[in-house]
Amino acid sequence: MSEKALIVIPARMGSSRFRGKPLAIIAGKMMIQRVWEIASAVNNADAVLVATDDEAILEAALGFGAEAVMTSESCRTGTDRVFEAAQKFGGSYQIVFSFQGDSVLTPPWIIEQVLREMRSNPDVRIATPAVLLEGEAKTQYIEEKKAGGTTGTSVVFDRSYDAMYFSKGLIPFPRDTNEDAPLYRHIGLYGYRFDALQAFCSFEDGYFERVEKLEQLRALENGIAIRVVPVDYRGRTPASVDVVSDVAYAEKIIAEEGELV
């Protein structure tokens, strides 16, 4: 029997850079509704759940037909919120996918590919997508990193596609200027087997996690492999909404490329 998969969307009101972000209107719809609709379009997921610490977000989610649960305000990260919500929701889901509440431009097939990889390989405890950068996107990313930019995370993986490291720096770093090494940009979404999610949330913050400000390094520091799943956006523009000014950019992309679902 196929493993059951639950998509959890963590959504909190008190973002330091964009308070009330989940309820922000993007091209006529609340952000949280857009993300829920994308998650609901994932063909190989069994359920979608909104996890929040705010009554207004809960009421909004229930209002457009989502299943939603309240979680503790003391959750230190979105991953902790996902774990608490999965416990409260019940249903014996073997796979829990954490889908960030600002991922309004993430195509549903990205999640489908990660879930397919996990179901095909029962030994994979955590899986995450990454996209190969090519052409202008690759050149721009490299230039941003050379200038000291911290936007975007690089990932390198072994021949089994298990991550070796994630970094805000440029990895691999080509010492020879003529070396055109493959460059993968990590997409910050994760599928967990329930036991791996439980273990992850029980670990203390790791040293490299604190240095890089990358939560996923906690898994690697504790010996849990992360399977990297190369994905294709099929011509869609990848982006999330981090600050208020990103709303206009997201609306521009939606106007130019059309709705995802």
The string of pLDDT tens digits covering residues 171-227 is: 998 887 667 889 999 999 999 999 999 999 999 999 999 999 999 999 999 999 999
Predicted pLDDT of residue 85: 93
CA 190 vs. chain centroid, Å, equals 6
Mean pLDDT of 123-137: 96
Among 27-31, 44-48, 78-82, 106-110, which stretch is predicted with the lowest mean pLDDT? 78-82
Predicted pLDDT of residue 178: 66
Predicted pLDDT of residue 251: 95
CATH topology of domain 121-230: Spore Coat Polysaccharide Biosynthesis Protein SpsA; Chain A (3.90.550)
% of the chain beyond a pLDDT of 90: 80
Query: Is pLDDT of 82 > 60?
Result: yes
Query: Is pLDDT of 64 > 70?
Result: yes
Give the CATH class of 1-104+245-261.
Answer: alpha beta
Query: Is pLDDT of 169 > 70?
Result: yes
Confidence of residue 130 (pLDDT cuts 50, 70, 90): very high
Q: CATH 3.90.550.10 residue ranges in the chain?
A: 1-104+245-261, 121-230
